[in-house]
Structure 1
């Protein structure tokens, strides 16, 4: 399965929902980058993604975006395909 990386914080409800969706699609490991623990990581996330909010999700080299983007990808049957690539 493809590597999944998620920028997140401890108490983000969208991060929790994104993790649940990914797990429901068979993802066993999610590399979480906690930007609330290291502020420099927020700057890194913003530079890489151009976004300020969490979660920011990468599947392989593809920046999926946040939870809404992940949910849309799933509704369009793209999430399973991306995870399998």
Structure 2
């Protein structure tokens, strides 16, 4: 599954959860809004953490591939190649 689909699924889940919370809340409106806001913030924090993890993993993989390409190129050409 692509990371874009995961993020889209998470956002859809947050939206559906917030809507269900509003519709079925037995508490006062102000309390319900605070709870929804807190849950939304928790979901947003979780999503940020997952995105940061994804970016970190992607960056590490990119660096590894870049090193492998550089090594391969150096071996084939017989000289040092600088990749930026």
TM-score, normalised with respect to structure 1: 0.27
**Looking at CA atoms only, which structure, 1 or 2, has the larger radius of gyration?**
2
**Taking CA–CA contacts closer than 8 Å with sequence separation of 6 or more, which of the two structures ends up with the larger relative contact order?**
1
TM-score after normalising by structure 2? 0.28
